[in-house]
Structure 1
Amino acid sequence: MTSQNTPHPRPRTDAPFLVGDRVRGTTYVPRDPHRREHPEPFEGVVVQVGSGYAGIDAGTAFLWVRLADHTERQALVADTELMP
């Protein structure tokens, strides 16, 4: 059984996302040098969560999500929601 199929308790209620959570949102694309890429909707599993420390990077906290095709996308926590 893989970790994606195993339910896990949410030990930190103050964390918006945990590794293994199923989420959906909009990808983050930096303005430069990726001018040909555009934000797009996604659904996937969280594989990495940025720090999001208050006063440091809370406004730009990132997470990385693995999609069904096994590629990963970066997203802002603020542009992502937990799926039921």
Structure 2
Amino acid sequence: MTRARSAPYEVGETDSGTTYVEPGDRAREVPVTFTGEVVQVGSGWDGVDADLAYLWARLPSGREVKALIRDVERVK
């Protein structure tokens, strides 16, 4: 039995990165940089579609954004 890997980010920590824009939305929306509090670590983690693993972060304005985990880093 293999041990499951946990996500590299935790709910409540502050991270920064670039937002993810779904392919169908790219004609009207562009990725932006952000810094916010992680509120959810989404699907795709633990080796299942790991290249598309994502998280949601809440910005200081209250707006929530989606980002690919590979495009996010922890704020020190």
TM-score range, shorter chain: 0.7 to 0.9
| Residues in 2 aligned to 1:30 and 1:15: alpha-carbon distance in whole angstroms | 22
- Calculate the TM-score normalised by the size of structure 2: 0.85
User: Over aligned residues, Cα RMSD in angstroms?
Assistant: 1.5
| TM-score, scaled to structure 1 | 0.78
- 1:57 corresponds to: 49
* More helix by percentage: 2
Deviating above 2 A after TM superposition, structure 1's stretches of 4 or more consecutive aligned residues are none
Runs of at least 5 residues in structure 1 that lack an aligned partner in the other structure: 1-12
SS of corresponding position for 1:73: strand
- Structure 2: stretches of 5+ with no match in the other structure: none
State the identity as a percent: 45
Equivalenced residues, count: 71
